[in-house]
Amino acid sequence: MSEFLPFTRPSIDEESIAAVAAVFRSGQLASGTKVLAFEAALAAYVGGGRSVRALTSATEGLEIALAVAGVGEGDEVIVPAMSFAASANVVARLRTTPVFVDVELATRNLDVALIERALSARTRAIMPVHFSGLAVDMDALQEIAARRRLRIVEDAAHAIGTRHRGRAIGSFGDLAVFSFHPNKNMTTIEGGAIASADPKAIELIERHRFHGIRRNADGEIDVVLPGAKSNLSDIAAQVGIDQLKRLDGFNARRRALAALYFDALAGFDALLLPARGDDGHSWHMFTVLIDFDAQGTTRPAFQKAMAGRGIGIGVHYPSIPGLSYYRDQGYRSEDYPNAHRIGRETVTLPLFPAMLDKDVARVCAALRAELR
What are the distances in angstroms from CA 137 to CA 164, 283, 287?
Answer: 8, 17, 20
3-state secondary structure the chain: CCCCECCCCCCCCHHHHHHHHHHHHHCCCCCCHHHHHHHHHHHHHHCCCCEEEEECCHHHHHHHHHHHCCCCCCCEEEEECECCCHHHHHHHHCCCEEEEECECCCCCCECHHHHHHHCCCCEEEECCECHHHCCCCHHHHHHHHHHHCCEEEEEECCCCCCEECCEECCCCCCEEEEECCCCCCCCCCCCEEEEECCHHHHHHHHHHHECCEEECCCCCEEECCCCCECCCCHHHHHHHHHHHHHHHHHHHHHHHHHHHHHHHHCCCCCEECCCCCCCCCCCCCEEEEECHHHHCCCHHHHHHHHHHCCECCECCCCEHHHCHHHHHCCCCHHHCHHHHHHHHHEEEECCCCCCCHHHHHHHHHHHHHHCC
Catalytic (active-site) positions:
184
Residue type, 120: S
